[in-house]
Amino acid sequence: KQEVTQIPAALSVPEGENLVLNCSFTDSAIYNLQWFRQDPGKGLTSLLLIQSSQREQTSGRLNASLDKSSGRSTLYIAASQPGDSATYLCAVDTGTASKLTFGTGTRLQVTL
C-alpha cells in the first residue's frame, strides 16, 4: 500500500527566503506526482504535475523535482512571499487509473 509522507509538517520563514518542501513515498512504481496548494477553508489548487519519466517541472518561482528510485520529491519555492502561506500537499498516482494518494501536507507561513 502506497504511503506518502511530507516533512516538515509546518514551516515558518521570513519573506524572501528560498525554501524546500519534502515528499516521500514508499512505492516507487508511480505514474505521476502532483503538488497542490490548499488555502484555509478552500479547495486544492494544482501547482505542478511531474510525470514518472520526468525529473522536474517549473512554474514561475516553483520548481518540483522527482527521484522515483529513492521515492522522493521536493518542491522548491524561490523568494517566498506572504501570499505563499498555505498548506502544500503532494499526491502520487500509482497508475491504477488516477487513484491519488495524498501526503499529510506541510503548512507554510511566510512572515513579513
Partner 1 sequence: DAGVIQSPRHEVTEMGQEVTLRCKPISGHDYLFWYRQTMMRGLELLIYFNNNVPIDDSGMPEDRFSAKMPNASFSTLKIQPSEPRDSAVYFCASRRTGMPLLPYEQFFGPGTRLTVL
Which residues contribute to the site for partner 1 (CB under 8 A)?
31-32, 34, 36, 41-46, 49, 51, 89, 91, 93, 96-105
Q: How far is the CB of 98 from partner 1 (least distance, A)?
A: 6
- Measured from the CB atom, is 22 or 101 closer to partner 1? 101
Amino acid at 36: F
User: Rounded to an integer, what distance in angstroms lies between the CA atom of residue 84 and that of residue 103?
Assistant: 19
- Residue 29 CB burial class (10 angstroms; 0-12, 13-18, ≥19): exposed
Closer to partner 1 by Cβ: residue 37 or 110? 37
Helix (DSSP H) and strand (DSSP E) numbers for the chain: 0, 11
CB of residue 74 vs partner 1: minimum separation in angstroms? Answer: 19
